[in-house]
Amino acid sequence: MIVYHPTKSGHAFANVGFAGWIGSFSGMSSKQMAISEIGVSYPDDTFGKESRIGNPFTFLLRDILQFDNSIDESIQRITEKTKRTCNLILGVGDGKMNKFRSFQYSHSVATVISPTTLIPKNDTWHPQFCICILCLNLLSLHL
């Protein structure tokens, strides 16, 4: 774990990764924002196209930790401000607002997933449930 305390701009944050890595896979900021990611090995058609040209997702996640104050800012950063690349599932939590959102993320789409808009939807599977409570409990921790 590496803890950053920027002196010129942004918030302090902890980056769970390895020495020398300047992006983020998982972490938490002093603004009680937290991020995570999971790669998608076998995406379905809803992910659309991938691209390797754009903002690397690890830099996007780091920017969320370092600069965003709320989940709403993070949603805007992911869906509107970033040139997206590969297929992923991202997670962003805001401990102040007690909210967690997942994102179906690719070059083509940035679908916001909330407890009421879970995907994929298949009525023949077990009932859907939200595991967001665990993430929100983790957000209650401070740096």
Q: What is the pLDDT along the chain (143 residues), one digit of tens a residue?
A: 888 898 889 999 999 887 788 899 999 999 999 999 998 888 888 888 888 899 999 999 999 999 999 999 999 999 999 999 999 999 999 999 999 999 999 999 999 998 888 777 666 665 655 544 444 454 554 43
Q: Are 85 and 94 in contact (CB under 8 A)?
A: no
Q: Are 10 and 139 in contact (CB under 8 A)?
A: no
Q: Give the pLDDT of residue 134.
A: 45
User: How much helix, strand and coil, in percent to the nearest 5, is found in the chain?
Assistant: 25, 25, 50
Q: Give the pLDDT of residue 116.
A: 80
> Which range marks the domain in which residue 119 is found?
2-139
CATH, residue 99 = 3.60.60.10
Number of structural domains found in the chain: 1
CA atoms of 134 and 61, how far apart (whole Å): 20
Say which residue the tokens 């972490």 belong to: 27
Q: Which amino acid is at 1?
A: M
Q: Give the pLDDT of residue 18.
A: 79
Measured on CA atoms in the order 58, 62, 65, 68, is the torsion positive or negative?
negative
| Both structure tokens of 116 | 């009421």
Q: Give the pLDDT of residue 133.
A: 45
Q: Give the pLDDT of residue 128.
A: 57
Q: Give the pLDDT of residue 143.
A: 39
Q: Give the pLDDT of residue 70.
A: 97
